Chain A
Amino acid sequence: MITEFGAYALILALVLSALQMGLSAVGGARRMSVLTGAGQGAALGAFLCTGLTFLALVHAFVVSDFSVANVAANSHTAKPMLYKVAGAWGSHEGSMLLWCLVLTGFGAAMAAFGAALPPRLRAYAVATQGALGVLFLAYTVFASNPMTRLVNVPVEGASLNPLLQDPALAFHPPFLYCGYVGFSVVFSFSMAALIEGRVDAAWARWVRPWTLAAWSFLTVGITLGAFWAYYELGWGGWWFWDPVENASFMPWLIGTALLHSAVVLEKRGALPGWTVFLGLAAFTFSMLGAFLVRSGVLTSVHAFAVDPARGILLLTIMGIAAGSGFLLFALRAPSLNSGGLFAPVSRESAIVVNNIILSTATATVLLGTLYPLIREAMDGEAVSVGPPWFNLTFVPLMVLAMAILPAGPLLAWKRGDARLVMRRLWLALACAAILGLVAFAVIAPRHALASAGLALGVWLVAGAVLELAERVRAFRAPWAEVRRRTVGLPRGAWGMTLAHAGLGLFVLGASFETTWRVEAAQALSVGGQLKLGAYELALTDVGAVEGANYIAERGIVKITRGGAPICTAQPERRFYPTGRQTTSEVAICPRVLDDLYVVLGERRAGANGQPAWLVRAFVNPWVRLIFLGPLIMALGGLISLSDRRLRFGVARKAETAA
């Protein structure tokens, strides 16, 4: 009953989205506030209905209603409750529903909190959001309905893949989708601005908070995914340049470029066309990601429900949405004001360079992801583009961007003084150079590139700190003055400093971890020992454990360093009878920044007939920074978001003043 109700609500949501689109568009064009108001009401209604459907699906998962096809395919009675709930968005159908929920949710937020926006802009934006809602809800209702019932009801469900039964992964999709789909708001605003033919500083002020929110969510989502890969897949890798990862990374890169160019547009009125272009591109890449992940055109470790027919549908949706967006852009862009002027050395220029590099990097990731398809279409040759290629193309581009990054915020708008900036940054440069050289000299094995990576990380962190110090006149002005300035510093400035420093921390962690990780592996019987760098590992026991929906072998590995106990790792090798799958549950002993990472392998015959287990262990130095850095970046985004200058009312004042 609840399921039917949910299915009905989903269709209602589709109808309401269509109304939202039609009413808002007509109301906007004819300046009829009754119609635009009704359109906003429809937007709220569409969100409410999609929410009800979503709750109905969660309910079906919670009570394990296997008459619902999606529940039968993805759930199991023995699954812990968290994963039953998370199962609701663990499948293709469920995740598309989540996508629609977020999409209509943002539409409703535009309708509810947009009172300060100019009425026509708001009407067109709500209408565009409604159009996107129609496309994706229609897809969900007709091609991937999660509420479909089964005629022959199974007694037990097929369960969710055990690798996905993990807290990080339970929360990974909601964050990711808030990010992906958050860019739909920017898309809608861009369309509205193009329809109106006006892109100005006020527009940038409305768009920036949405971009910041979407970007922060996406950052957290990607980090959770990387973290999951790190501790769940069992060999400590966290990024594989896999098509599915790239699919989430491309909107992030474009979103990052957009964040920066929107600042230029807001502060200086420059780059309006380019900013709108990025606004359209960000959500286009989100849709491209949805298509790549779900259609199976590319081989991926994380392949989703692969279904070619649905892939074509998603490609069509993307074609319609992005096609109309860019067509409108092509028609309107020439008439857009080119905005304020700036000198070659200025903060605007620095941000333009940032945008050029980030766009090139996005194009690079796109090319690397699609190249196997292109090559196959051209001459039928199957090729692979893997991590080594990305390391040789994407990484240098990013290094270039990061090399100039600390200078950007110190340059003045309009016309900057490069020498002045270097005078302010010499300390950061000196720190970076010295620490890089020390790392090169001290850390064995010697590695020039990784030492340079460390120097780059230090450069970023020190640059961010110096920029902040410069703003508050630390060590120059009297203490009271510094304190007053620190307190009065806008949150946006704190946000930027945190985000840039977070990037630096990530670079430090990534350089260190990928180069100086220590690895050891040995088949150990109970009582056996293994040396891992400065640590000694001893397998003291292996016992059987029974979990909620699995049975496991659990090894007890005592880790010592020079005889002093460090910790006891308990890696497991789990067997899930439902799916007949074996997974290894890694044990991680966190040190301050490092991880001791222990994996229990399969049982094999050891010496003198005793059973032995292949124990693999890693010291992952500074790995904490790899995940901490991006989280700090996201935190920076959220702090910026709370800046009172970014609230809606302020934007209106800016517009009336302009």
Chain B
Amino acid sequence: MKIASSFLLPLREKMAALGGRMRGLSNLSTSIVCGVDAVRPLIRRLRRHLLPQGEKGRGVLVALMAIACMAGAAADPAERLPDPVQESRARDLFREVRCLVCQNESIDDSQADLAGDLRGVIRDQVKQGRSDRQIRTFLVARYGEFVLLKPPFSPSNAVLWATPWVALVLGGGLMIVLLRRRATPGAPGEDVEQLSEGEEARVQALLKDE
């Protein structure tokens, strides 16, 4: 029972929080732009916000507003770096960085103000010659792992990165084991019997005679 409730608790909290987060979206963007470091506590605070009863339609509205802000903004010539190599590096990074005020998009796609600011920050750093790794570390230090659309390879993310391959190997292994077990001679209903080498040779000889 305890397990169930401890699982459901964050779930319920999160569900409630999303409503709050969405409601706060419009006032959020201004405060975020002036103090980017304030984002994480802000999001946390908003998460605690509960969606008041009877405001059912509100969530949709804000969610849809969030869609409306999507429009592939990163190509804006006003923002671009003069060096095409640096620019393409920056663009590759943008695709891995989440727009924090949007619902679920990269800063490469988002037109939100914060996404624009973040693109500026990253382009500046690319221009200063910092490596991709340094820039990612910088972003994580500022906003937490939430900002990366590609979670880093770290012990705490081991489950995430390893599971698909472990599952594949387990599935394949299970198949091989089962096939072997069922192919053992003497199993009931055996009809795909493996011939021994001697038997195989005899069959070939008999076939040749015909």
Contacts and interface: CB of A to CB of B under 8 A. Distances in A.
Contacts of B161: 393
Nearest to B103: A301
B70 A235 contact: yes
Given A341-B190, A521-B76, A387 B95 contact: yes
Given A367-B164, A616-B72, A415 B145 contact: no
A393 B164 contact: yes
Interface in A376-411: 376-377, 379, 381-389, 392-394, 397
B106 to A, nearest CB: 7
Given A305-B56, A415-B192, A582-B68, A519 B75 contact: yes
Contact of A599 (B66, B71, B148, B183): B71
Contact of A303 (B103, B146, B164, B189): B103
Contacts of B60: 91-92, 161, 303-306
Contacts of B168: 356-357, 360, 397
Given A306-B22, A311-B15, A614-B76, A296 B59 contact: yes
Contact of A376 (B10, B18, B148, B175): B10
B172 interface: yes
A237 interface: yes
B149 A341 contact: no
A233 B149 contact: no
Nearest to B72: A235
A546 interface: no
Contacts of A367: 160, 163-164
Interface stretch (A102-110, A202-210, A342-350): A342-350
Contacts of B145: 381-384
Interface string B159-196: 11101100110011001100100110001011110000
Given A235-B72, A305-B56, A373-B14, A240 B67 contact: no
Nearest to A394: B164
Interface stretch (B113-121, B123-131, B150-158, B201-209): B150-158
A307 interface: yes
Given A382-B144, A387-B95, A302 B67 contact: yes
A648 interface: no
Given A163-B64, A376-B10, A381-B144, A305 B59 contact: yes
Contacts of B98: 384, 386
A16 B178 CA distance: 46
Given A307-B59, A383-B145, A373 B70 contact: no
A523 interface: yes
A161 B68 CA distance: 10
A290 to B, nearest CB: 15
Interface in A345-365: 349, 352-353, 356-357, 359-361, 363-364
A618 to B, nearest CB: 9
Interface residues of B, number: 70
B66 A397 contact: no
Interface in B43-63: 43, 51, 56-57, 59-61, 63
B63 A306 contact: yes
B74 to A, nearest CB: 9
A343 B163 contact: no
A338 interface: yes
A520 B109 CA distance: 14
A383 B151 contact: yes
A161 B59 CA distance: 12
Count chain B CB atoms within 10 A of each CB in A242, A356, A361 and give the residue with the most. A356
Contact of A308 (B15, B148, B172): B15
Contacts of B183: 341, 343-344
A7 to B, nearest CB: 18
B38 interface: no
A33 interface: no
Interface string A25-54: 000000000000000000000000000000
B141 interface: no
B160 to A, nearest CB: 5
B103 A297 contact: no
B96 interface: yes
Contacts of A163: 64, 67-68
Contacts of B63: 300-304, 306
Count chain A CB atoms within 10 A of each CB in B171, B189, B191 and give the residue with the most. B171
Rank and list the top 8 A-B pairs by shortest CB-CB distance, nearest first: A235-B72, A386-B149, A308-B15, A388-B150, A306-B59, A303-B63, A356-B171, A521-B75
Given A306-B18, A375-B160, 14 more contacts: A161-B67, A163-B68, A299-B18, A303-B66, A304-B60, A306-B19, A306-B63, A382-B146, A386-B98, A387-B95, A387-B106, A415-B192, A581-B68, A616-B75
10 contacts: A161-B67, A303-B60, A341-B191, A352-B175, A360-B164, A364-B164, A386-B149, A389-B149, A389-B150, A394-B164
Interface of B: 6-7, 10-12, 14-16, 18-19, 22, 40, 43, 51, 56-57, 59-61, 63-68, 70-72, 75-78, 95-96, 98, 102-106, 109, 144-151, 156-157, 159-161, 163-164, 167-168, 171-172, 175-176, 179, 182-183, 187, 189-192
Interface of A: 73, 91-92, 158, 161, 163-164, 233-237, 240, 242-243, 295-297, 299-308, 311-312, 338, 340-344, 349, 352-353, 356-357, 359-361, 363-364, 367-368, 371, 373-377, 379, 381-389, 392-394, 397, 414-415, 519-523, 579, 581-584, 599, 601, 614, 616
